[in-house]
């Protein structure tokens, strides 16, 4: 998989004010093979197969995660494989080696390029059953789970997604336990949400995605202490500048911003985000079966452009979006 994000130092030194020149530079950097991974985070209810089809059109070099396959339950639709150049990662969760081996086998047979263990979800249903971020407490068990997944996955690589730690203290010992488990099993990639999880019953999943501070310094320290691992960093990356300040890592993972402003992915991977491209993607999105994730994503198709508010308004009336696109396209053609 070779999704890419600009080699920050190089691009920054070359950047000029003109947006199209910058895109060309980013593309050149990608083509030179010095780019880094850009991926879309697993998000239940958002990274549906339909949403991933649209994201694959916007940023073919981005690596796309499925929603999470929950423990025990088989949800083939949730982990449907959507082919894309940047690669498709199937995320599975659980704490039972047999189930994880089985789900890894299924994911591998579906054609995914990587299979990822969720050791980062702070939801109460998950953690009270010993799944998700609760796995951070037992690195030896995680080592066994990773081995079980590797048996099921065959030649497909297994990876881990986790958090910096548990609780209010800025300690990385639990993360380092998992990193050592990865090293011992030959799992060489960690996706790191750069904040702790607080497993207090009064904290919701939303609290856990917003309240604990993002700690870039601790993430940086982990990349230094485990240089043999590939580190993809995640959490509140909403702009090129946010991604650029993580240029010490091997890549970035974009969560909510990938849905709220999908063309951020285009810019991060050196693809076009001009109006014609947005129109083309928007037209395609009108032809696929609607779902909640797609509705949310569509609202952001013209984010950061002068068309943003009119586009959003057009989505509230029947046929409005199509009419908006029809009006916009000829106008652009005339200007050429
Ligand atoms: C609606 C929603 C669902 C999520 N579902 C999952 C999931 O299934 N597995 C997982 O590892 N993380 C899940 N996450 C967390 C994201 O993968 C990501 O780590 C988090 O949103 C932080 O990244 P961001 O600040 O770029 O959004 C979810 C996040 C959201 C907003």
- pLDDT tens digits, residue range 181-222? 999 999 999 999 999 999 999 999 999 999 999 999 999 999
Task: Give the pLDDT confidence score for residue 157 in this predicted structure.
Answer: 98
Residues known to be catalytic: 121
Average pLDDT on 102-129 reads 96
Residues 6+ apart with CB under 8 A from 20: 274
% of the chain residues with pLDDT over 90 = 83
Task: Give the pLDDT confidence score for residue 61 in this predicted structure.
Answer: 97
Average pLDDT on 98-103 reads 96
**Longest CA span, the chain:** 64
Q: Using alpha carbons only, give the angle 292, 297, 300 rounded to the nearest 5 degrees.
A: 140
261 lines ligand 1 (CB under 6 A): no
With H, G, I as helix, E, B as strand and everything else as coil, classify residue 11.
Answer: helix
Atom 10, ligand 1: which residue's CA is nearest?
42
Q: pLDDT per residue over 118-149, tens digit each? A: 999 999 999 999 999 999 999 999 999 999 99
Task: Give the pLDDT confidence score for residue 75 in this predicted structure.
Answer: 86
pLDDT surpassing 60 at residue 331: no
Tell me which of 223 and 289 has the higher pLDDT.
223
Q: pLDDT per residue over 215-237, tens digit each? A: 999 999 999 999 999 999 999 99
70 lines ligand 1 (CB under 6 A): no
41 lines ligand 1 (CB under 6 A): yes
pLDDT surpassing 60 at residue 52: yes
- CATH top class, domain 8-268: alpha beta
pLDDT band of 76, cuts 50, 70, 90: confident
* Of the listed ranges 26-35, 40-49, 258-267, the one predicted with least confidence: 26-35
Task: Give the pLDDT confidence score for residue 6 in this predicted structure.
Answer: 44
Average pLDDT on 251-276 reads 97
pLDDT surpassing 60 at residue 29: no
Rounded to whole angstroms, the Cα distance separating 11 from 26 reads 7
Task: Give the pLDDT confidence score for residue 19 in this predicted structure.
Answer: 52
Residues 6+ apart with CB under 8 A from 33: 2
Task: Give the pLDDT confidence score for residue 330 in this predicted structure.
Answer: 67
42 lines ligand 1 (CB under 6 A): yes
pLDDT surpassing 50 at residue 244: yes
Task: Give the pLDDT confidence score for residue 21 in this predicted structure.
Answer: 62
pLDDT surpassing 80 at residue 8: no
- Are 244 and 8 a contacting pair, CB within 8 Å? yes
68 CA distance to ligand 1 middle (Å): 10
pTM over 0.85: yes
In ligand 1, the atom with minimum distance to the C-alpha of 41 is: 17
Q: Give me the DSSP letters along 235-249.
A: SS--SHHHHHTTTTS
254 CA distance to ligand 1 middle (Å): 9
Task: Give the pLDDT confidence score for residue 316 in this predicted structure.
Answer: 94
42 CA distance to ligand 1 middle (Å): 6
Tell me which of 94 and 13 has the higher pLDDT.
94
Rounded to whole angstroms, the Cα distance separating 276 from 268 reads 18
pLDDT surpassing 80 at residue 22: no
Mean of pLDDT over the chain: 90
Rounded to whole angstroms, the Cα distance separating 88 from 136 reads 25
Parts of the chain belonging to CATH 3.20.20.70: 8-268
pLDDT surpassing 70 at residue 3: no
Task: Give the pLDDT confidence score for residue 260 in this predicted structure.
Answer: 97
Task: Give the pLDDT confidence score for residue 26 in this predicted structure.
Answer: 54
pLDDT band of 72, cuts 50, 70, 90: confident
Nearest alpha carbon to residue 136 among 122, 150, 151: 122
Tell me the two tokens of residue 85. Answer: 């150049």
pLDDT surpassing 70 at residue 106: yes
């Amino acid at each position: 998989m070779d999704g890419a994000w600009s080699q920050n130092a190089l691009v920054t030194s070359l950047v000029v004010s003109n947006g199209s020149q910058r895109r060309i530079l980013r593309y050149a950097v990608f083509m030179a093979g010095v780019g880094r991974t850009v991926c879309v985070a697993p998000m239940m209810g958002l990274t549906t197969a339909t949403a991933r089809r649209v994201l694959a059109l916007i940023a073919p070099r981005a690596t796309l995660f499925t929603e999470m396959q929950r423990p025990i339950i088989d949800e083939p639709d949730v982990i449907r494989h959507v082919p894309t150049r940047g690669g498709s990662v199937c995320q599975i969760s659980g704490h039972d080696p047999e189930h994880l081996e089985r789900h890894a086998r299924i994911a591998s047979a579906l054609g995914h390029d990587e299979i990822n263990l969720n050791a980062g979800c702070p939801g109460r249903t998950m953690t009270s059953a010993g799944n998700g971020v609760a796995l951070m407490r037992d690195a030896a068990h995680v080592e066994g789970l990773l081995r079980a997944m590797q048996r099921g996955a065959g030649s497909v690589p297994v990876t881990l997604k986790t958090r910096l730690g548990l609780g209010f203290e800025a300690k990385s010992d639990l993360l380092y336990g998992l990193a050592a488990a990865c090293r011992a099993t030959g799992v060489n990639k960690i996706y790191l949400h750069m904040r702790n999880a607080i497993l207090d019953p009064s904290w919701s999943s939303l609290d856990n995605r917003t309240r604990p501070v993002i700690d870039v310094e601790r993430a940086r320290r982990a990349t230094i202490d485990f240089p043999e691992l590939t580190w993809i960093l995640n959490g509140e990356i909403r702009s090129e500048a946010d991604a650029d300040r993580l240029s010490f890592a091997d890549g970035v993972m974009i969560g909510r911003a990938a849905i709220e402003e999908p063309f951020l992915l285009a810019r991060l991977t050196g693809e076009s985000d001009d109006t014609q491209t947005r129109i083309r993607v928007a037209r395609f999105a009108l032809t696929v079966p609607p779902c909640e994730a797609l509705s949310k994503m569509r609202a952001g198709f013209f984010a950061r452009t002068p068309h943003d508010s009119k586009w959003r308004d057009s989505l509230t009336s029947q046929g409005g979006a199509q009419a908006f696109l029809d009006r916009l396209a000829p106008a652009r053609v005339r200007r050429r």
